[in-house]
Amino acid sequence: MADYSGTVTVSVHSRALQRAAELLGGREKLAHFLAVPLADITRWIAGTAKPPQPLFLRVVEFIIDETTPPESDAAGDTPQANDCAPAERRY
């Protein structure tokens, strides 16, 4: 049975940090944004260490904020029906 606990987690951390660095314009800017040494960013992206959970969650929130279309309001949007039936006949 495969053990996914280490590799998958590190891969997710690495990918998220790399994406945040791309969105911010580089690893140096990500280090400044998170107020951590560039060496930590390098280790985290390389997968040789994991960031503290609060910093990782901050990265995830940043990615979501930067990649969500402005017109989208997930909490308030009501999905449109894809049904061709008239509204009074929908279940």
Which of 54, 61, 12, 8 minimizes the C-alpha distance to 35? 54
What is the identity of the amino acid at 90?
R
Q: Give domain status of residue 23, yes or no.
A: yes
Q: Which residue has the tokens 């280490």?
A: 6
How far is 53 from 13, CA to CA, in rounded Å? Answer: 10
pLDDT at 55: 97
Tell me how many domains the chain contains: 1
pLDDT band at 25 (very low <50, low <70, confident <90, very high): very high
pLDDT band at 46 (very low <50, low <70, confident <90, very high): very high
**Containing structural domain, residue 45:** 7-67
Which of 28, 22, 11 minimizes the C-alpha distance to 66? 22
| 78 neighbors 72 (Cβ within 8 angstroms) | no
Which of 2, 22, 5, 28 minimizes the C-alpha distance to 62? 22
Q: Give domain status of residue 33, yes or no.
A: yes
